[in-house]
Amino acid sequence: MALARVVSFEDVSPDRIEQLKRDITEGPPPEGLPASEILVLHDADTRQALVVLLFETEQAYAQGDATLSAMPAADTPGRRASVQRFTVAIRRTV
């Protein structure tokens, strides 16, 4: 059963998203982050973002959650507004 960590951010600039895009696509994942997938959604007009990380096991989720919760605020897309945990009920790539 996969788990998702869904985090909403406020005050996220397009420049910050571009920087994150480079960091995520060009560099290795942060140490201690065993996510199987990452999805970053951004609404430039409202400066809001959602980051969805998928984890394949409870243990991977717990490790990833601890790693991400300990990250300095400067390493996040913007001001963290909420963090939620979901069970992935349906997953399909088309």
CATH number for 69: 3.30.70
pTM higher than the cut 0.85: yes
| Residue span of the structural domain in which 10 resides | 3-87
Residue-level length of the chain:
94
CA angle 30, 19, 53 (to 5 degrees): 45
With respect to residue 92, please indicate whether it lies within any of the assigned structural domains.
no
Whether 5 and 61 have beta carbons less than 8 Å apart is answered as yes
With respect to residue 55, please indicate whether it lies within any of the assigned structural domains.
yes
Quickly state the pLDDT bin for 74 (edges 50, 70, 90): confident
CA torsion, points 40, 71, 34, 61, in degrees to nearest 10? -90
- pLDDT tens digits, 5-43: 999 999 999 999 999 999 999 988 888 999 999 999 999
Count of domains forming the chain: 1
